[in-house]
Structure 1
Amino acid sequence: MLSTPELLTGFCNSVDQWIGYLDAYTLQQLQQRPAPDSWSLGQVYQHLISDTRFYTEQMEAAMATDEHADCAMTPEAAALFAVNSFPNKPLANPFNDIHLQQPESKEQLRRQLTGIREKVCQLFKNASIRKGKTLHPGFQYFNAAEWLQFADMHLRHHLWQKEKIDKAILQA
């Protein structure tokens, strides 16, 4: 199991990686869908921002309570955490919407990702972490550090999707 400082470093590195990628694209490229039934890279960014904000809220809630401390994650989640990653393939998520809003600008994405990174760093720097857990809609209960690890795993998981979109839009 990774320590909280290691988890925080991994998360910040993943956010910084996604921020850095923005420089390689025009807004038009970010908004270009490789196929009618897939997201644009900008929509992937919007998805990552939205989900990571939710994970951050869960980190904060778990840090503020001792509730559900004895509750566990599912065995499927435990297997993902054990290898610290999701499989590099599409995963079903009933909350995903193919018509996700396109970004308005690269700067908007940069600001939102930077804000998330700063919020998470402040949470783990200033909070006295309690032993509480909050409910993940599919994997049961995570504590704050597990939410942090899950957020990083999620950011890294979508790199395969970015590569797939890059191949489609940069060849066009």
Structure 2
Amino acid sequence: MNRYELTHFKETLLHYSEPDLRYKCSPAIWSIGQMYDHIMLVANEYLDEVDHCLQEDGQLGGEKTPFGEKLFREGEFPPIKIELPPEMNQPPNNTDTNEHLLGRITALISRMDALEARLGDATDDRKTFHGGFGWLNAREWFELVEMHTRHHRRQQQELEGWLTQKDL
């Protein structure tokens, strides 16, 4: 049994119909499919950074920002909606089918397995930069995938609530 937070999203994906995946209660609110797309895009970006650190492409040393320190100390994102600046906040894809999303998330979990197996060889002083959290090492980037994915469970519950209301 896989222990990643992504496993929850893989399992729940199978419960949505194609129209459910694309349903938007308003233009400003993401669909469930867009949330899945976002989670996977960000996870792959973070795993790219894990790989850079493992290949020693990063720099030696570097500090986290105060927010990064707080984030890792608490082990989770704050329970608030986080809005990115407009240039970083392009709407995620809203056209993927269940089958395509399932393939993407399965491949992502396999990638996590492969990188996790290499984390034992990582040095904590080889780091790459995150714009909000500062300098992170391979283990921190890997942990960030889990924290970010877990953060979206609240969004998933909210979006499922909108689905329930649309059928009333």
Q: TM-score, normalised by structure 1?
A: 0.87
For residues 134 and 19 of structure 1, the distance between their equivalents in structure 2, rounded to whole angstroms, comes to 29
Shift of 1:170: 1.7
Backbone CA RMSD of aligned residues: 1.6
Q: What are the residue-to-residue correspondences of 1:3-152 with 2, within 5 Å?
A: 12-65=3-56, 67-94=58-85, 95-97=88-90, 99-126=91-118, 128-130=121-123, 131-152=125-146
1:41-98 deviation line (CA, Å, top 9, x unaligned): 100000011111100100000111174232011111110111111112211212122x
In the alignment, structure 2 segments of 5+ residues that lack a partner are none
| TM-superposed deviation, 1:13 | 2.4
Shift of 1:30: 0.8
**Aligned residue pair count:** 161
Identity, % of aligned positions: 25
Deviates more, 1:33-42 or 1:66-75: 66-75
Q: Decide whether the 8 Å contact of 2:46 with 2:145 is kept in 1.
A: yes
Q: CA deviation at 1:124?
A: 2.4
TM-score by length of 2: 0.89
Q: Structure 1: where are the runs of 5+ without partners?
A: 1-8
The secondary structure found in structure 2 opposite 1:142 is strand
Rounded Cα–Cα distance in structure 2 between residues aligned with 1:147 and 1:126: 13
